[in-house]
Amino acid sequence: MSKFAYTSILLITIVAASLLFAILSLVGNSSMASKLMSSISVVPCALLLFAHYRGWRWTPQALVITLIVLIIISAPTNLQTTVFISPLVPCVIAAALLSPWWAIGSFLVAFVGAVTSAALRGGVTSIESIQTLKSENLILLLMTAVGITVASGVLRSAQQAALASARQAEAERDQVELKSRELATANDQMNEQIGQQRQLLELVSTLETPVVQLADGILFSPVVGHVDTRRAQALTARLLRAVADQRARLVILDIGGVVVMDTAVAQALLLTARSLRLLGCDVMISGISAGVALTLTDLGIGLEDIKTVRSPQEALTLFASGDKLGRNGKAALFN
């Protein structure tokens, strides 16, 4: 519970106790002064309760001071009993609502004030009653007040440590949330970069293995630069997908831009051509230079299964004139 709730409970309890004491004084055999004091003590406590619910911030201090004043005013001339009980009331309340210094200070003021008030009002009788007080009882009373004060200090230290731990935990939680948001932002940025890189890779792959539709059923794929295993696989996959999607009947592979032709490149081109022929599509290779032809001859690699032409235009001419691979009486392309 909050300090406001604790203060409310104490004020309600004190007002109820004051009313009960006032009623007992009125119906009992107490003196007129005692009855008047019991009745009057209800008023300041009720006013403090009203001010507390109105939001007055000094209610705990005013409550402790009011109790001290009431104890001093109402102290009987015979202190044998009162001196051991009354000063502890503001001490306990100050320990609960205020600070340890308020607790021990309120006890000392209430005790000294009660004794002084009784001595001034009772004269010789009060002085004699004070002299009869046992030192053991005074020491016990002081130890009780000190114990209440120390307990208040320990509880407040524990409360402050708990509050500090809570603040630290809250700060760490805020840092964790901040880092989580930063990680989430970094993750989003990384995902965005990965997406951009994927798009760039797809663009590069498209540029590395372009497939252009020259006419209905005719695809043209120029191969430029060095052809390695990865690029050959990408070219084969792209051509197979394009042939299947467009139902192409002829693919023209132009290798005029291939500078170096070795066994691996030749085998890759042969594999691509055979894969396309399995889909029922004819393949022509154009652009074989003299150097590439000499290299293929030296390596002992032949392209007997594949029709070769000088240029893509020648391939289109042959395809248009009916010189294409066919069955059921059609002219054969690869003679």
- 59: closest CA among 131, 137, 103, 6? 6
142, with CB counted inside 10 A (0-12, 13-18, 19+), is: middle
What angle in degrees, to the nearest 10, is found between the helix axes of 100-122 and 88-97? 160
- At residue 327, φ and ψ (nearest 5 deg) are -135, 180
> Alpha-carbon distance 277 to 97, whole Å?
94
Strand, helix or coil at 308?
strand
Q: How confident is the model at residue 329, as a pLDDT?
A: 35
Number of residues assigned to the chain: 335
Positions of the chain with pLDDT under 70: 1, 25, 28-39, 76-84, 121-137, 201-209, 303-305, 322-335
Supply 319's token pair. 């395809």
CA distances from 267 to 61, 164, 264, 273 (A): 98, 74, 5, 10
H helices present in the chain, as ranges: 3-27, 32-53, 59-73, 88-97, 100-122, 124-131, 135-208, 229-246, 263-278, 290-299, 312-320
CA angle centred on 60, ends 57 and 65, rounded to 5°: 120
> Alpha-carbon distance 102 to 155, whole Å?
15
> Alpha-carbon distance 63 to 3, whole Å?
14
Quote the DSSP letter at residue 219: E
Q: How confident is the model at residue 28, as a pLDDT?
A: 62
Strand, helix or coil at 262?
coil
What angle in degrees, to the nearest 10, is found between the helix axes of 263-278 and 290-299? 90
> Alpha-carbon distance 227 to 233, whole Å?
10
Strand pairing of 250-257 and 212-215?
unpaired
Q: Phi-psi bin for 287: left (phi > 0), alpha (psi -120 to 50), beta?
A: left
Annotated domain spans of the chain: 3-168, 181-206, 211-320
**Options 3.40.50.720, 1.10.260.40, 3.30.750.24, 3.90.105.10; which CATH number does 211-320 get?**
3.30.750.24
| Number of neighbouring beta carbons within 10 Å of residue 32 | 8
